[in-house]
Amino acid sequence: MQKALALLGLARRAGKLRYGYDTAAQALRGGECPLVLAAADLSDKTKKNVRFEAERAKAAFFETAFTMEQISAAIGKKTGVLAVCDAGFAGKLKQELGAAGESERRDAVCASDKDR
């Protein structure tokens, strides 16, 4: 789990993250980002809206086990929504989030696989 947070920090420093709902949604609509992440303590309404934007953009959606506070500490910005705008970072984050043990993660479900 710590490795995923470190990757988020690295992606931010590389300029490959869009954070905040509006900025992330705009990047998704522009087709820039293959992955969007939501904090565990984000409101249900916001999660629903983010999931909708991700599905519409055919991007993967993960609800992480990270709180907004943990994400904010990792990237240096207070946010609960992150769009990852680099295929390499997105792939590595999916791998890290998917490899997290069941006892350590909570509902890291890809929206594209959820309804199948």
Q: Which two tokens stand for residue 93?
A: 């984050």
State yes or no: pLDDT of 1 exceeds 90: no
Domains of the chain, start order: 2-114 (3.30.1330.30)
pTM as predicted: 0.81
| Contact criterion met (CB below 8 Å) for 66 and 40 | yes
What's residue 110's pLDDT? 46
Q: Which residue has the tokens 């709180």?
A: 67
Q: What are the b/e assignments for 81-110, b being 16+ CB within 10 Å?
A: bbbbbbeebbebbbebbeebeeeebeebeb
Please write the tens of the pLDDT for every residue from 46-104. 999 999 999 999 999 999 999 999 999 999 999 999 999 999 999 999 998 886 533 33
What's residue 100's pLDDT? 52
Its sign, for the CA torsion 77, 83, 84, 86, is negative
